[in-house]
Structure formats: structure tokens, C-alpha cells
Amino acid sequence: MKSDRIKNWLSAIIGLILLAGCTTTTTGGSQLNFSDAPPDSRETTLSQAISAEQNSQYDKAIVLYAKALKLQPSDEDKPIISMTNTALFYKIGLLEVKQDNTELARKAFGQVLKDEPAHVLAQTQLGIIYLAQKNKQDALVLLTKAITTDQQRLTEQAKPVKGYVKLDEQSPLQAYMGLAIIHDLKGAHKQARALLNLILPITPQDPIIFTNIGYSHYLSGNYVEAEINFKKAIDIDIGFSRAWVDLGLVYVRKGMYTRALQTLKQVMPTEHAYNDIGYFLILEGRYREAEYFLERAIELSPSYFVKANINLENLKLHLNKHIDLAYSDE
């Protein structure tokens, strides 16, 4: 099924001339009647694609959306379902992201931008893909474009406050989040938090935003604010593992190892918690303390816990021979 999907999707791209038209619309009752439509009409194919997507049949939906690209729109003035080819490519890109098919998603969003260079959502999605691939430069360009366009739209409604206009429900939040991450990676933590604080009023119950704010404070060395924000994330979603791990990292930095251990054990087995603390301590250059935690990890799970053995072996070589080696955090 995957090979057929890729074949259909790629063949739909080659030589395709994108058509102008309306974005996705639906009208009428909750049940759409396509009994009068030809079996291979664009409208029927779109209906089948939407149904497949709603039923989480993403492979099937992608094939059908790609098929719709090659079918001519209905001659009716107001078809029940209408979607431009640009919108179809964007939809395909989103579904490819869900399927972890990054390369196909990148091509789909790239096709959208060929037809509509200022497509904010496609700029955002492609920017996030580049960021995940550690291509910070291309990510920076696209995310900045998306945010600039959004801020221009918002400026027509309100005056900027401290350089930015407050966001609304139409704003590409992922673009702001992605650019904040880039700022943090560059050490521009205040700029990162300025962007994150713009997002906060729109998604006040999102643990990710508090975790990112907390991590930005952590990178700044402000462990008090980092701890506060990680705990807010956990209060929102007690099962959000990243917040627990980052909170444990704060306690390691503070030398509060018992609390760090208890924190990490909320989301991982005990031996993994010992290994992770050991690994964090290696990164800090606190090798003797790291040795203790790695040895405890192995004692708890000597037969299969490979990571701790690798870390401990390399650590001892480093201590005894002053050799820089790679450590295992995976």
C-alpha cells in the first residue's frame, strides 16, 4: 500500500499545473449525497479521502487526495465539496507528517509554496521540518516569513506592544514556537521567552508551552523559574514525561540527587533514572558523582542495561586516560 501511495503521490506532483479556486468548503446536511456524481469525479474522490482521513486511514486518504489532484474540478457553480490543488498539497503534507514521512511532507509543502509563496501555514510546517532536521538556517528563514506575515495581518487590527502584536486564533503558533527554539539554541533566551509568552494566552492549558518556557529559563541558569514552569506543565498533564525529565535535570544541576531520582522515577524505571542522572553529571564534568549513579544503574539491572555499562566504561577510560569519548544517552 505504501509503495502505491508514494507512486501516486509523486506522479501527481510531476508536471502538475496548480489550479486556482476556493479553499475547502462543505455545505448542506451532515450526510452528503454523491449518488448523482460520476464514480471517478473529483468531488466523489474528495469525499472518499475525507472519510478515510476521519477514520484515521491516512495511507488511503493520501492516495485519494493525490488522485483528486489529477481530476478536473466539477463544472457546477457551487459543488458540495471543493478544494484547490494548493489546499490538496497542504492536506497531503499534513498527513505525511502524521505518517512520519518527512521527505514526502517536505515536497508537498514545497509544492504549496511554489504556487503560493506567502502561504503562512506551509511556511510554518516546512520550517518545523527543517528545524527537526537541524537545518536552522532554512528553518529561520521560513518561520520568520510566517511570523512577519502574521504580524502584518495583526497590525491592521491592533498596535504592537513591545515589538509584537498579540496573537489570535489564526496565528501560526508552531512558527512562533519554532522560532523561540531557534533563539534558545543561539543563546537569545529573552527573545525566545518573548515569543513563548505571546503563545501562552492562546494555549494556557498546553504543557508544552510551560515546558519550553521552563527550559529557556533553565538554559539561562534561572533554575527557580525553570522549576516553577516545569511544575505548571506537570499540573496540567501529570503524564507529560518531558516536563518530569527536565524538572529532574534542574534538581541534578542543584545537586539535589534524591529529589532528582524521585522525579525521574515518575516516568521511567529506577535503573534508567540512575543512568540518566549519571549521564547528566558526565555532561557537567562531575565524573566521580556520575560514576556512582552509573554503577547503581548496573547493579539494579546488570544483565540487560547496556546504556549504563557503556557510559561507565567510557567514563572510567576518560578518568584514567583523559580520553574524550562519546556517551550513550539513547
On the question of pLDDT at 200 being above 50, the answer is yes
In DSSP notation, 228-239 reads HHHHHHHHH-TT
On the question of pLDDT at 321 being above 90, the answer is no
CB of 94 closer than 8 Å to CB of 88:
no
Q: Please, which pLDDT band fits residue 81 given cuts at 50, 70 and 90?
A: confident
Query: Distance between CA 276 and CA 305 in Å, rounded?
Result: 12
Instruction: Give per-residue pLDDT as tens, 159-193.
Output: 665 679 999 999 999 999 999 999 999 999 999 99
Average pLDDT over all residues of the chain? 85
Instruction: Give per-residue pLDDT as tens, 96-130.
Output: 999 999 999 999 999 999 999 999 999 999 999 99
- Measured CA to CA in angstroms, residue 146 lies from 37, 57, 76 at distances of 39, 30, 34
Q: Which residue has the cell 533553565?
A: 218
CB of 325 closer than 8 Å to CB of 297:
no
The pTM for the full model equals 0.80
CB of 66 closer than 8 Å to CB of 108:
no
- Measured CA to CA in angstroms, residue 105 lies from 45, 52, 63, 83, 259 at distances of 21, 18, 14, 19, 42
Instruction: Give per-residue pLDDT as tens, 11-27.
Output: 554 434 333 333 333 33
Query: Distance between CA 215 and CA 224 in Å, rounded?
Result: 11
Q: Nearest CA to 136 among 81, 90, 184?
A: 184
Neighbour tally for 128: CB within 10 Å? 23
Better-predicted residue by pLDDT, 325 or 195: 195
Query: Distance between CA 149 and CA 292 in Å, rounded?
Result: 53
Spans of all domains in the chain? 1-114, 118-204
Instruction: List helix spans (H) across the chain.
Output: 2-13, 42-54, 58-69, 85-98, 102-115, 120-132, 136-155, 173-185, 189-199, 207-219, 223-236, 241-253, 257-264, 270-284, 287-300, 306-321
Q: Please, which pLDDT band fits residue 263 given cuts at 50, 70 and 90?
A: very high
Instruction: Give per-residue pLDDT as tens, 128-152.
Output: 999 999 999 999 999 999 999 999 9
Better-predicted residue by pLDDT, 157 or 235: 235
Helix (H) or strand (E) segment spanning residue 82: strand 81-82
Please give the backbone phi and psi of residue 82, each rounded to the nearest 5 degrees, phi first. -135, 135
Non-local CB neighbours of 100 within 8 Å, separated by 6+ positions: none
**Right CATH number for 1-114 from 2.40.128, 1.10.3470, 1.25.40, 3.90.1150?**
1.25.40
- Measured CA to CA in angstroms, residue 318 lies from 260, 280, 311, 322, 324 at distances of 25, 16, 10, 5, 6
- Per mean pLDDT, which range of 28-32, 108-112, 186-190, 320-324 is the poorest? 28-32
In DSSP notation, 15-76 reads TPPP------EE-SSSS---TTS-TT-HHHHHHHHHHHHHTT-HHHHHHHHHHHHTSPPPSS
Instruction: Count Cα neighbours of 236 within 13 Å in the Cβ-side half-sphere.
Output: 19
Measured N-to-C along each axis, helices 2-13 and 102-115 cross at an angle, to the nearest 10 degrees, of 20
Q: Which residue has the cell 584514567?
A: 320
What pLDDT was estimated at residue 40? Answer: 77
- Measured CA to CA in angstroms, residue 219 lies from 30, 152, 216 at distances of 50, 31, 5
